[in-house]
Amino acid sequence: MTTAAAIRTRGIALPQRIRLACVTATLALVFAVLASLALGTVQLAPDQVLLALVNPAAADPQTATVVWTLRMPRTLVAALVGAALATAGAVMQALLRNPLADPGVTGVSSGAAVGAVGGIVLGVGAGAAWGVTLMAFLGAVVVTLILQAVLVLRRDLGTTGIILTGVALSALGGALISLLIANAGDDALARNATFWLAGDLDLRTWTHVAVAAVPIIAGLVVLFLRRSALDALSLGEEIAATSGVDVRRERLFLLLITSLITGAAVSVSGVIAFVGLIVPHAVRLVVGAPHTRLLPLSALTGAVFLMLADTVARTAFTPAIVQTGVVCAMVGAPVFLFLLLKRRAS
């Protein structure tokens, strides 16, 4: 394949595709935010939403309350979580050199789930509105530290070893979750824990935004600054080493940052699958593999995807209760199977 043919898809040159992707993602972000703020039990017109955003004092008090108190925190949490999971997925796919990898492969999501379920079932941190969120984040941090300790002790551990370690930690997390739910004090606590495991953004507040925003935004900035190292690592450890990258140290650092932003995301949303798998994979098909454009576009697309999924979850199935994670799975599972079959066929 010639260079010209390699950088053209469906007759559109690569630079033009990148510009088109950026414009499309930006417009989709604006649409997703407006849809998230306008749709719900109380339907708001676009002009009402815009007035409440630009000049809350001039807007109807009920509209301003709905927009700023009820829906804006949920919208921002969806955007932060979607951006975090999609970016983490892009990084994991580069580190493991597998386009079907996702943030949950390290077991961090399971660690966060254990912390949250423990907080719900045992009543730890129940006195604060963010108690479960804090427990989930602590669970993610514990798993991250265990993973880092394993990698430090086993300096020769490659990508397969990382995946196997993640599988073991996820299995342990699943067993602990089952144990906690089976021994819940009453059925209501077990039901709450199960609901959290499905992933949902109901009743998100500005406190949840504050908890998630700092680690996620800081982590995304750090990962973008390491884009050159990610480009090298995605080509293989030997090539990265010859390019001057300290493979072991860089891998440890990137896994740590990825685990922390995944933990922060899962702590405020519950376990939401497939965002970190299908979003970066789809973006890569459009704009290519270089992380200079892959990371920011994955973050933007992930934010759009989760905001739209959350809007569908709370509006399209009324009066039935459908969690955001269920909608993501309904979309993500068929896409994953398609990608898997396509990859096997090729």
Handedness of CA 109, 77, 315, 306 (dihedral sign): negative
Which residues constitute the domain of residue 340? Answer: 12-345
CATH (domain of 106): 1.10.3470.10
- Within a domain: 3: no
pLDDT of residue 53: 94
Handedness of CA 129, 196, 163, 237 (dihedral sign): negative
- Within a domain: 278: yes
CB 212 within 8 A of CB 77: yes
CB 93 within 8 A of CB 106: no
Task: Classify residue 244 by burial, with Cβ atoms within 10 Å: 0-12, 13-18, 19+.
Answer: exposed
Cis peptide before 319 (omega within 30 of 0): yes
pLDDT of residue 50: 94
CB 12 within 8 A of CB 287: no
Q: Give the distance, in angstroms, between the CA of residue 261 and the centroid of all CA atoms in the same chain.
A: 8
What's at 93, amino acid-wise? Q
pLDDT of residue 8: 43
- Structural domain count of the chain: 1
- Within a domain: 306: yes
pLDDT of residue 3: 35
Q: What torsion, rounded to 10 degrees, do the Cα atoms 262, 263, 265, 267 define?
A: 160
Helix runs in the chain, H state only: 3-6, 14-38, 46-54, 61-65, 72-96, 108-122, 131-153, 159-182, 187-197, 206-225, 227-233, 237-242, 247-269, 275-287, 291-315, 324-345
pLDDT of residue 225: 96
pLDDT of residue 1: 34
pLDDT of residue 87: 97
- pLDDT tens digits, one per residue of 133-186: 888 888 888 888 888 888 778 877 777 788 888 889 999 999 999 999 988 878
Taking Cα atoms as reference points, which of 344, 148, 171 lies closest to residue 260? 148
- Distance from first CA to last CA of the chain, Å, rounded? 16
Q: What torsion, rounded to 10 degrees, do the Cα atoms 209, 136, 107, 87 define?
A: 0
CA distance 147 to 133: 21
pLDDT by residue for the chain (346 residues), tens only, comes to 333 333 344 456 678 888 999 999 999 999 999 999 999 889 999 999 999 999 999 899 999 999 999 999 999 999 999 999 999 999 989 988 877 778 888 888 899 899 989 988 887 755 555 678 888 888 888 888 888 888 778 877 777 788 888 889 999 999 999 999 988 878 888 888 888 888 999 889 998 999 899 999 999 999 999 999 999 988 887 888 888 888 888 988 998 899 889 988 988 998 998 999 899 988 998 898 899 999 999 999 999 999 999 999 999 888 888 899 999 999 988 988 887 777 655 5
Taking Cα atoms as reference points, which of 139, 140, 119 lies closest to residue 129? 119
Helix runs in 100-158, H state only: 108-122, 131-153
Contacts of 142 (CB under 8 A, 6+ apart): 111, 115
CA distance 237 to 243: 10
Cβ count within 10 A of residue 152: 11
Taking Cα atoms as reference points, which of 214, 257, 207, 268 lies closest to residue 81? 268
- The CA-atom distances, in angstroms, between 43 and each of 50, 200, 314, 342 are 14, 21, 12, 41
- Within a domain: 232: yes
- Within a domain: 2: no
- Within a domain: 202: yes
3 state DSSP class of 305: helix
CB 208 within 8 A of CB 201: no
- Within a domain: 150: yes
- Within a domain: 5: no
